[in-house]
Amino acid sequence: MPLFIEIALAHLAERPRQTLSAIAGIALGAAFFIGIAALLRGFQHDFVAKLIDVAPHIVIKDEYRVPASQPLERAHARSLVVVAGVRPRPPARGIKNVAALMADLAVEPAAFAAPVMRAPVVLRYGTVAEPVTLFGIEPDLHRHVSSLDRDLRVGALADLSAAADGVILGEGVARRLGAGGRDTIRAQGAAGREVGLKVVGIFRTGVPQLDETQGYVLLTRAQTLEERPNVVNQIHVRLADNTRAITLARRLEVDHGFRAEPWQETHGSVLDLFGILNGVTYTALGGLFMMSGTAVYNIVSTITMEKVRDIAILRSLGFPARFVAAMFLVEGVVLGLLGALAGCLLGHAAVSVLGRVPVEIQGPIIQSNHFLLFDWAGHYAIAAAAAVATAGLGALLPARRAAGTDPLVVLRGAVG
């Protein structure tokens, strides 16, 4: 073992109380970081996983991101033209060239697409009426872009294919209507058309916003309710790699014009909030590590002041300044390593205990009877690196001061 490391360890061993205090401070900071990060990221991962599982990764809508320009503006594109008070006629809604879009997506690697007719309706069962969004689908295609087949609690997706007047309701919708399997309900579309529907299935995604507001019928039945035959107003896309959603959505918009909304945009406000929470958390925990670094600074500074005569003797014997600096820097790094090790063990224990604590969480997306934790090895690596870095920085200034000690001045003062 190099001599400067032996001396550094001896200095720390001479002060067990101060050494243990510094290690405890670093360990608590690291453990707190690991626990908070696991808790925060656990909720985030569960939220995103549910959204990715139950919702399409891209929704192509029958609308445009940028409104069409006026003919006068196009005719005088290079001139200063201001058009005010324009009241254009509402455009004919519906996605044109559905076949071209579906063909484009068919050649996209690991991508699945399904045409959808979104229809806001009022469902009635007896005297109860509930506003619901029905999605007209082709079951054989839709099973590849959603988790509906897995989420069914009553019936099967094949039952919808076999029943022209069938409907699959969300669990919350069925509960509020008081309707069950094989019951017949009435549906009235926005155009005033009313049809009878037979309940062939009930689904539960675990996301109340979906379970309490949505239902599914055959595509032709939704088109009948909207009185728009052979028209679809959405195309749902699912990807094997959901991180490609933004890139593919942008390309589809450029190539076909219709708005293509990736899941990151649909839930952008929530994802932005997660980013802010992560930033605040890491900033606060960075402050904890800085306090740990201050404890290391104090103990190393104390050692340098107490050992100033020993430092002078080492320098007079020919040991270079970098030897002295390395000696005290090692003390800080050793404190950081021991604190990081203790903090990782304590943090792992804290995560294990938190995972067993019973707690009822009933939110619009997240529902659980325990804390949702993400016990990731990266959290331990970040905590350990931060602990060692702050401890090393805390020892850096005293180490440089010790390295700059003039042995002649110190020894002359000691003799005098």
∠ CA 247-234-185, nearest 5°, is: 145
Task: Give the closest residue to 210 by CA, choosing from 44, 324, 367, 66.
Answer: 367
- Asked whether 383 and 344 are in contact (CB, 8 A), the reply is yes
The dihedral built from the CA positions of residue 243, 244, 247 and 248, taken in this order, carries a sign that is negative
Is residue 91 pLDDT above 70, yes or no? no
Q: What is the pTM of this model?
A: 0.74
Q: Is 126 exposed, middle or buried (0-12, 13-18, 19+ CB in 10 A)?
A: exposed
Q: pLDDT, tens digit, for every residue of 215-234?
A: 999 999 999 999 998 899 99
pLDDT tier at 415, thresholds 50, 70, 90:
very low
Tell me, what's the pLDDT at 357?
A: 84
**What integer is the mean pLDDT of 12-32?**
89
The pLDDT mean for the chain works out to: 87
Tell me, what's the pLDDT at 416?
A: 45
Tell me, what's the pLDDT at 396?
A: 86
pLDDT tier at 347, thresholds 50, 70, 90:
very high
**What integer is the mean pLDDT of 55-66?**
90
Q: pLDDT, tens digit, for every residue of 348-378?
A: 999 999 888 887 766 666 667 778 888 999 9
CA atoms of 393 and 406, how far apart (whole Å): 23
**What integer is the mean pLDDT of 29-34?**
91
pLDDT tier at 407, thresholds 50, 70, 90:
low
Provide DSSP, 307-374: THHHHHHHHHTT--HHHHHHHHHHHHHHHHHHHHHHHHHHHHHHHHHHHHSEEEEE-SS-EEEE----
Q: pLDDT, tens digit, for every residue of 118-176?
A: 999 999 999 999 999 999 999 999 999 999 999 999 999 999 999 999 999 999 999 99
CA atoms of 339 and 373, how far apart (whole Å): 23
- Asked whether 95 and 101 are in contact (CB, 8 A), the reply is yes
Is residue 413 pLDDT above 60, yes or no? no
Tell me, what's the pLDDT at 365?
A: 61
Is residue 383 pLDDT above 80, yes or no? yes
Q: How many residues in total does the chain contain?
A: 416
CA atoms of 399 and 311, how far apart (whole Å): 11
pLDDT tier at 212, thresholds 50, 70, 90:
very high
Q: pLDDT, tens digit, for every residue of 264-291?
A: 998 888 888 888 888 888 887 788 788 8
Is residue 80 pLDDT above 80, yes or no? no
Is residue 96 pLDDT above 60, yes or no? yes
Tell me, what's the pLDDT at 410?
A: 59
Distances (CA, A) of 21 to 249, 281, 393: 55, 25, 18
Three-state DSSP state, 30: helix
Name residues whose C-beta falls within 8 Å of residue 195's C-beta, 6 or more positions apart in sequence: 165, 186, 187, 221, 224, 225
Write out the two tokens for 94.
């519906």
